[in-house]
Amino acid sequence: MDLTILLFLVQDGVTNGAIYALLGFALVLVFAVTRIIFIPQGEFVAYGALTYAMLQAGHVPGTAYLLPIFALIALLFDLYAERSRITGGFLIRQGIEKIVVPLALLFAARELAGVSTIASLVLTVAIVSALGPHLYRIAFQPLADRSVLVLLIAAVGTHLALTGLGLVFFGAEGLRADALTDFSVDLGPLPVSGQNIAVYAATLLLIAGLYWFFERTVQGKALRATAVNRLGARLVGIRTKGTGKVALALAAGIGAVSGVLLAPMTTIYYDTGFVIGLKGFVAAIIGGLASYPLTAAAAITVGLIESFSSFFASDYKEVIVFTLLIPVLLVRSFTGKHTEDED
């Protein structure tokens, strides 16, 4: 192994690691706010990548149709839950959120498919992140007060359903998108592509954005308050149902961005997201499902281990990455503070 290969492996590892970091953030965010161990995060990545690739190729993606369907089911849930106290204002808000916006996005996807990279990018993030709140409303909100375990089982059910829907709406064929830019710069013997730079920039921007959101905005503080104590947050007037939806919108948005970044680098299939998401999980668990900086560091480490093991023992790449969790859990088990979990 010479220096060039070493550098390539490092670059590859850091790039993938940056994406795992994004997913790890989303998982930490969702867990902190809703206590859901969000297994379907990877499906948002696949949806994002496939939506972006289809829009770029001039096709209307399946997610554009899926969104109004999800919104409609969520609308029925809300109408049923609020059946005894429906007001005009409620109907207007619901109508905008669950009929007008999804249909507008569908219309935009039909009109703007294949027009420009920027349009595809914006539409992808808009469509996929809009799926998040509806998904929360349908699958998780009715279970919001149940144990972590029940939420976890529901998350696995959601993962199954979303993977199946991915197959129905995108088909079994893998897709790969064009690179965001042809730009490339040589760093010594190593060419660094614009795509790589975009991944690093997006990760750094998101870290900064999340920091700003949680430290400087009322919404962000409400999410943190909910994370610390749901009942207390409710008592001071925070709508905890709302915070769950915001968390899932953010997670879906982060997933979509990861998918867009990943789509030009590798072929994405409807079920590729799961394993990618789980690697984000390995990072999030190393971070104790709590710390963003630790998650980022862990994600880069996971990326590096993966890229080196794909060079030295490519058959055992996945085995090595997932077994990594065992020593991590062992260390946490004997050092971390233990929480009392009761249901």
Those residues whose C-beta lies under 8 Å from the C-beta of residue 191, and which sit 6 or more positions away, are 184, 185
Nearer CB in complex with another protein: 84/333: 333
Rounded (to 5) percent helix, strand, coil in the chain:
80, 5, 20
Nearer CB in complex with another protein: 51/163: 163
Rounded Cα–Cα distance for residues 65 and 260 (Å): 19
Scan for tokens 């070493």, then name that residue: 6
| Cβ 282 to another protein shortest distance, Å | 7
The binding site for another protein (CB under 8 A) comprises: 37, 39, 138-139, 142-143, 146-150, 152-154, 156-165, 167-168, 275, 278, 281-282, 285, 315-316, 318-319, 321-323, 325-326, 329-330, 332-334, 336, 338-343
Nearer CB in complex with another protein: 195/295: 295
| Cβ 13 to another protein shortest distance, Å | 19
Nearer CB in complex with another protein: 208/329: 329
Rounded Cα–Cα distance for residues 144 and 273 (Å): 25
- For 12-51, give one letter per residue: b (16+ CB within 10 A) or e: bbbbbbbbbbbbbbbbbbbbbbbbbbbbbbbbbbbbbbbb
| Cβ 262 to another protein shortest distance, Å | 19
Alpha helical stretches, state H, 39-116: 41-56, 62-81, 88-95, 101-112
Nearer CB in complex with another protein: 219/291: 291
| Cβ 329 to another protein shortest distance, Å | 5
Residues 109/60, Cβ–Cβ less than 8 Å: yes
| Cβ 295 to another protein shortest distance, Å | 14
